[in-house]
Amino acid sequence: MRRDNVMEVSLFLLALEITFIVVGDAVHPGCGCLVFSSTYGKDRGTFHSPDYPKAYSPGIDCLLYSFVAGPEQIIELTFVDFDVHKGQSDCARGDYVKIFIHLDSADVNEYTPWENLMCGRLTDISPVLYSSGPGLVLEFHSGHRKSNSSGFHGYFRFIDRRSFRIDGLKLTGTMCDYQFVSSEQSPTYGKFYSPRYPSTYPKNVRCSYRFNARFKERIRVVFEEISLQRGDLSCLNRADLIRIYDGKSSSDPSIGLFCNQGTELEVLSTGSDLYVEFVANSDRPGQGFKATFQFQMAEDHGATDSQRSSRLGSYSFATQVEPNVSETRSSCDLAISSDTSKNGTISSPLYPSPYPSKTTCRYEFQGRGKERVRIVFHDFNLYQSPEDVKEKECDNQDSLVAFVHIDGRMDKLDSFCGGSLPKPVMSNGPRLKLEFQSLFASRYSRGFNATYSFTENFGISSGTQLPEYPCAFVLNSNETKSGYFHSPNYPGFYPRDTECHYFFHGNLKEKVHLHFTYFDVEGVLPCEAISASDYVEFSNFMARDRKYARHCGQLKEFDVESDRKFFRVTFRSNDRLDGTGFNATYHFMDEVEVFTQQPSTDAAVCRPGAAASCLGLALVVLAIKLST
């Protein structure tokens, strides 16, 4: 470092609350070093770039910010402002902050591996950094070109690393394989994390978490935070994944596949074993995950409805793992578990007679594994005053409201009132709640009647479902040359936080032609994460195919064709808004064949509400058949 730069740094240090300064070769030859080892009794300390908030000087060759924690502590850095000039292509060509977060001490040299280079604005970086050990170092560098960038400012604090201890037994001879066994001596709930959490996990790692419950027990796992990689790519195209298997190993059926980022994602086993596998093969590791687990008693087939309701209120719908106090429930409340019934009927009080006024009923459903709760209505007739007929919302009216579990709380999915038959409803996970509220009474309002089912096929009836994915279907040319396929729960709203794949396998020299007759997928072009868009993606490979743009929004009929015998269609929804999805036909044909759309009599390819058009189409086809 030049002498004039050393003097600038020394003067700058007078304004900082730090422990001491080292300039020279004590830590890194030729670098100035600021050492932060105490917060002086405060909850946190501060750090910032030279002359902040004014623009920093050019030519700072190497300025180290070394944070030193105690032996059982790690360091948390939070940037509240970040403005470091970015070069033309990447951080290596301009000003940058180099971060070292996997250190046993705060000593670094030119051979010490670093984690990342940061530059740009606050939105371009991870605003919070954690060390994996008691040392963390930032290396600040500015080029010789002067800029108006103000640098950075943030806080640091030291936290107890024992707060992230895994409540399981680490298997001998492994880096990150753990076993969790339910017993009278062990707690019924606990926590587990990705390696090094809350710091970034290592590259090229595979970890397993095996849960073994006792007889008549099941396992509940909630991933409170998942931060693997930014973006919204399909999990097929991600190198870092969390896979959940409903059994003892990865050879059992997959009931969960998580990538990218997420919060409060819940998984419940169907049996007494659950296997969680974390695989990280990317060059840019994320923070990882933190999760909770709980061993729960399975539903008793001989229990009464009131006993099930009490049990459901005590833990199944709690957002925390620890049990809470059972809530007071009304006489018409129902708690329905897939342990006791896979399908059945629900209705309003006294159905088909008119329901009583001033009544509230809850219908709470609890599935397991990859099961989703699906409600199909067969009759719906609620009282609606004449002045409310034109109202689109169901406020201050007799109504039935559907709730799903989002971000640790029950979030309103949709509300229904009046006399229109609602479309099918599907949960985004193992839980769903319906709440019926009658404010008025009428001798003409008979209420509602519906069937429920705990389904593993997401309401998709075409193709063969694959066990290695939560939602994936194969449509094979050897089984049928043409047919239809649609989004989950079509024609009702598709479930949130869902990814489904449709794999088309043709014979040699065949390709597949898709014709979308209906398309309503929430989002705006170009259907990227920045606009929080759901999307449908097409590919001639398992990997992403840039030949095809993502599709979202409300689109008119369109066609898509593969280049070869294999084709993939992926549907992905986030946790924001809903749409009614898509409906499409497929046709396997020879590569040289020119496709001409043929009319179909299958009602599944008709648009919602187009019964008359479908009937007319059927009559035309019948006339053609008779004439030939």
Identify whether the C-beta of residue 220 lies closer than 8 Å to the C-beta of residue 291. Answer: no
pLDDT confidence band for 441 (50 / 70 / 90):
confident
Q: Is the pLDDT of residue 356 over 50?
A: yes
Domains of the chain: residue spans and CATH: 3-162 (2.60.120.290), 169-297 (2.60.120.290), 329-454 (2.60.120.290), 464-597 (2.60.120.290)
Q: Is the pLDDT of residue 404 over 70?
A: yes
Q: Name the average pLDDT for the chain.
A: 86
Amino acid residing at 353? S
Written in H, E and C, the secondary structure of 236-299 is HHCCEEEEEECCCCCCCCEEEEECCEEEEEEEECCCCEEEEEEEECCCCCCCEEEEEEEEEECC
Q: What CA–CA distance (Å, rounded) separates 371 from 415? A: 23
pLDDT tens-place string over residues 114-157: 999 999 999 999 999 999 999 999 999 999 888 899 999 999 99
Q: Is the pLDDT of residue 43 over 60?
A: yes
User: How far, in whole angstroms, is CA 324 from its chain's centroid?
Assistant: 26
Q: Which two tokens stand for residue 564?
A: 């070869």
Positive or negative, the CA dihedral 470, 475, 476, 480 is positive
The backbone torsions φ and ψ at residue 192, rounded to the nearest 5 degrees and listed phi first, read -150, 155
pLDDT tens-place string over residues 304-319: 444 444 343 333 333 3
Strands ordered across the beta sheet of 447-455: 343-347, 447-455, 372-381, 425-426
Per-residue pLDDT, 616: 39
Q: Is the pLDDT of residue 287 over 90?
A: yes
* Helices and strands, counts by H and E, the chain: 3, 40
Whether this prediction's pTM lies above 0.85 is answered by: no
Q: Is the pLDDT of residue 210 over 90?
A: yes
With a CB cutoff of 8 Å and minimum separation 6, the contacts of 519 are 536, 551, 553, 554, 555, 556, 557, 558, 582
Identify whether the C-beta of residue 219 lies closer than 8 Å to the C-beta of residue 242. Answer: no
Give the strand pairing for 178-181 and 205-212: parallel
With b for 16 or more beta-carbon neighbours within 10 A and e for fewer, the 580-611 pattern comes to bbbbbbbbbbeeeeeeeeeebeeebbbeeeee
Per-residue pLDDT, 3: 38
Give the pLDDT mean for 602-607.
Answer: 41
The backbone torsions φ and ψ at residue 624, rounded to the nearest 5 degrees and listed phi first, read -65, -45
Q: Which two tokens stand for residue 448?
A: 């509602």
pLDDT confidence band for 540 (50 / 70 / 90):
very high
Nearest Cα residue to 238 out of 13, 11, 19, 544: 544
Q: Is the pLDDT of residue 163 over 50?
A: yes
Identify whether the C-beta of residue 107 lies closer than 8 Å to the C-beta of residue 135. Answer: yes
pLDDT tens-place string over residues 579-601: 999 999 999 999 776 655 554 44
Q: What CA–CA distance (Å, rounded) separates 84 from 151? A: 5
pLDDT tens-place string over residues 489-507: 999 999 999 999 999 999 9
Q: What CA–CA distance (Å, rounded) separates 342 from 338? A: 5
pLDDT tens-place string over residues 237-258: 999 999 999 999 999 999 999 9
